[in-house]
């Protein structure tokens, strides 16, 4: 898609996105979820950078990747050789962009360290292969603090929300459901996945931030859908980056259910023009 055919934003503010990145095999088997991301990438205006938070780069304190050409990290084992041959040679964000991020965090008294040698983990490059298949959008990679909670993930997104007005597309990469024991064990009892996904959809549609952050107590099958929090916290991060309930209804980018992994993604704060352009894939 040429730049002239991209949907103009009704305002200068980029939306925020939660991506379900699923298994690393998502890189080779895009399915419905990959097609939805490709359509989104084609419709969006081109950002200065895409900022991605992924649970596969977990650190004690907040860090930001500062390498001008981050390498592709194959941080998984036991998959086909073709997966390890894939490369995603996207450039890192400019030093100016990195400095803007650091200054914003410093203004809110949030310490951050630069990681000059870091690469892109599979929670970043696998979904970006579908969103930006030409690897021509700069990537600003944010680490995942090990102490993150639903509340602090949401707060971090809210803190970074001003970057959306500066041409930055903020993305939280995780998984709508993430029970790897069921996934690799081949459990046939995965009806809980649909129930949990439906609760998330309704909670986002009604803008119930408090319920979302309290999902462990309020969502059906929360413990089985997420034995640990880290793959759902990027949803809270993206919701916060879009300023939560003030961003309007969440826009669902549908994905298939792959065993115990539900591949839906959600777009927050999209312009009316962008929502109309994507209406065909939201069914």
Please tell me the predicted confidence (pLDDT) of residue 139. 98
Find out whether 205 and 250 touch, Cβ atoms under 8 Å.
Answer: yes
**In the structure, what pLDDT confidence band is assigned to residue 283 with cuts at 50, 70 and 90?**
low
Whether the pLDDT of residue 73 is over 80: the answer is yes
Please tell me the predicted confidence (pLDDT) of residue 185. 72
* Structural domains for the chain: 3-281 (3.40.830.10)
**CA distance readout (Å), 216 to 3, 7, 79, 148, 199:** 42, 37, 32, 15, 12
> What stretches of the chain adopt beta strand conformation (E)?
16-20, 49-59, 63-65, 113-115, 139-145, 168-174, 251-253, 257-258, 261-262, 265-268
**In the structure, what pLDDT confidence band is assigned to residue 259 with cuts at 50, 70 and 90?**
confident
Mean pLDDT of 244-269: 88
DSSP 188: S
**In the structure, what pLDDT confidence band is assigned to residue 151 with cuts at 50, 70 and 90?**
very high
Mean pLDDT of 62-85: 97
Round to whole Å and give the CA distance between 281 and 266: 12
Whether the pLDDT of residue 247 is over 80: the answer is no
Paired residues of 268 in beta bridges: 16
- Of 251, 256, 257, give the one whose Cα is nearest residue 277: 251
Query: Tell me: the pLDDT tens digits for 100-132?
Result: 999 999 999 999 999 999 899 999 999 999 999
- Residue 61: CB atoms within 10 Å: 12
Q: For all residues of the chain together, what is the average pLDDT?
A: 92
Mean pLDDT of 210-214: 97
Round to whole Å and give the CA distance between 282 and 254: 6
């Amino acid at each position: 898609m040429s730049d002239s055919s991209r949907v103009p934003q009704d305002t200068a503010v980029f939306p925020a996105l939660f991506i379900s990145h699923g298994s690393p095999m998502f890189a080779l088997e895009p399915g419905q979820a990959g097609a939805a991301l490709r359509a989104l990438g084609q419709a969006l205006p081109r950002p200065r950078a895409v900022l991605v938070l992924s649970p596969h780069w977990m650190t004690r304190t907040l860090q930001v990747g500062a390498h001008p050409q981050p390498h592709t990290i194959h941080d998984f084992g036991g998959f086909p050789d073709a997966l390890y041959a894939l490369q995603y040679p996207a450039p890192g964000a400019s030093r100016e962009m990195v400095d803007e991020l650091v200054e914003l965090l410093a203004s809110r008294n949030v310490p951050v360290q630069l990681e000059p040698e870091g690469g892109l983990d599979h929670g970043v490059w696998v979904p970006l292969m579908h969103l930006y298949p030409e690897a021509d959008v700069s990537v600003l990679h944010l680490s995942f603090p090990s102490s993150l909670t639903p509340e602090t993930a949401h707060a971090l997104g809210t803190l970074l929300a001003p970057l959306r007005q500066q041409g930055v597309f903020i993305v939280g990469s995780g998984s709508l459901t993430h029970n790897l024991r069921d996934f690799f064990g081949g459990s046939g009892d995965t009806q809980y996945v649909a129930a949990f996904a439906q609760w998330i959809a309704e909670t986002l549609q009604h803008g119930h931030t408090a319920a979302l952050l309290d999902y462990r107590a309020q969502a059906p099958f929360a413990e089985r859908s997420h034995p640990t929090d880290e793959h759902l916290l990027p949803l809270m991060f993206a919701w916060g980056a879009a300023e939560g309930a003030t961003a309007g209804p969440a826009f669902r980018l549908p994905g298939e259910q792959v065993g115990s992994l539900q591949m839906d993604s959600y777009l927050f704060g999209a312009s009316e023009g962008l929502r109309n352009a994507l209406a065909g894939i939201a069914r």
